[in-house]
A = this chain, B = another copy of it.
Amino acid sequence: MPNITITAFERSPDRGKGLARDMRVRWALEEVGQPYEARLLSFDAMKKPAHLARNPFGQIPTYEEGDLVLFESGAIVFHIAERHAGLLPDDPDARARAVAWMFAALNTVEPPIFERDMVRILERDEPWFERRLAALEENIRKRLGELSASLGEADWLESEFSAGDLLMVTVLRRLHGSGILEDYPNLLAYVARAEARPAYQRAFADQLAVFTAASGGR
């Protein structure tokens, strides 16, 4: 039996498109070849004491390994990257830069992209909807322009694939279907390059299988 257990949605709100944050942890574990078990939680169960003891904010994913209980997908991916080869460069300076991209993905690039999804769900009928969406998309494009300029013709943000790319790609994927990413061809190719990795594909299939099983599908 695997000695790593993560938590994930019992019924993923994204219908298995890999946008739930357990995807980041599944992908990281596949990159380093560590088996794991997924404990599936209902929205009710996420707010119960047993889960709040794992994550005070009642969110997924969490990570359990022996006595260690972790929360926050960024911290879990970093923990996996620190313990196993393949997600952080060996050179200390290059490693620190990869960590900077991890924080940039979650603290600089993700907020307006995540907020756009929330606004599209929660504020669609509000009188300000169109203007809010336009303002958010302007912020998103500003960040994508800067990211695109920094990536240039390179395959990855630093010289080799790292946990920084893993997190950045999970953030950018949230723009699939928006038409926005298409204006930055090098970012579109960057996301496709990451999605073609065998570890990504295994993780994607596993989180999709939860949804198709839950929905009684094939």
Contacts and interface: CB of A to CB of B under 8 A. Distances in A.
Interface in A99-131: 99-100, 102-104, 106-108, 110-111, 114-115, 126-128
14 contacts: A56-B150, A57-B146, A57-B147, A68-B97, A70-B97, A71-B104, A72-B103, A72-B108, A75-B99, A75-B103, A75-B104, A107-B110, A111-B115, A128-B132
Interface string A61-72: 000000110111
A72 B107 contact: yes
A99 B127 contact: no
B67 A93 contact: yes
A30 B103 CA distance: 22
Interface residues of A, number: 40
A56 B108 CA distance: 11
A20 B111 CA distance: 18
Contacts of A108: 57, 59, 72
B102 A147 contact: no
B56 A68 contact: no
A18 interface: no
Contacts of A57: 104, 108, 143, 146-147
Interface in A133-163: 143, 146-147, 149-150
Contact of A93 (B68, B74, B104, B115): B68
A197 interface: no
Candidate in A75, A108, A110 with the most chain B CB atoms within 10 angstroms: A75
Contacts of A146: 52, 56-58
